[in-house]
Amino acid sequence: MDVEKIIKTKKEIPLESRTIIHLMLVNNKIMEMVTTALKPFGVSLQQFNVLRILRGQEGKPSNLSTLNERMVTKMSNTTRLVDKLLTKGFVDRTTCESNRRKIEITITKKGSEMLTQMDAIMKKTESTLVSQLSNKELNELNFLLNKF
């Protein structure tokens, strides 16, 4: 990805600025491809993330606080995400019997089935995104990104 070409400049960009711009451009490309992959399922990346977290609970209910803590993209509108998934029939929401203030959220069978379909598309999308990198390069990239 040629940063200068993409942002249409002939000026030399300082290395630190170029690196940050480059990361932002890569992030935008990833988000574009992931959003496109999930579009047929009518879910956002954040909703997909909630479904994966709930599946990881292996049948145990989760609450809004836990979901928000585990989200890749931290946000304050987890309630709205869950409401949308509830409307689609992908999650169930119940009030905890022992603590009426606690809301418990679980993935439904329909949500699990849709998530399995989404997984296949996401795996293909992820493979496409990193297809130009070897396993060694992917490990090196992850090592470098961990320094952030």
- pLDDT digits 0-9 by tens, 52-94: 999 999 888 998 888 988 888 776 688 899 999 999 999 999 8
Domains of the chain: 42-146 (1.10.10.10)
* Tens-digit pLDDT profile for residues 6-61: 888 888 888 899 899 999 999 999 999 999 999 999 999 999 999 999 999 988 89
* Tens-digit pLDDT profile for residues 119-131: 999 999 999 999 9
The alpha carbon torsion through 13, 15, 21, 26 (nearest 10 deg) reads 130
The 10 Å Cβ neighbour count of residue 88 is: 16
pTM of the model: 0.85
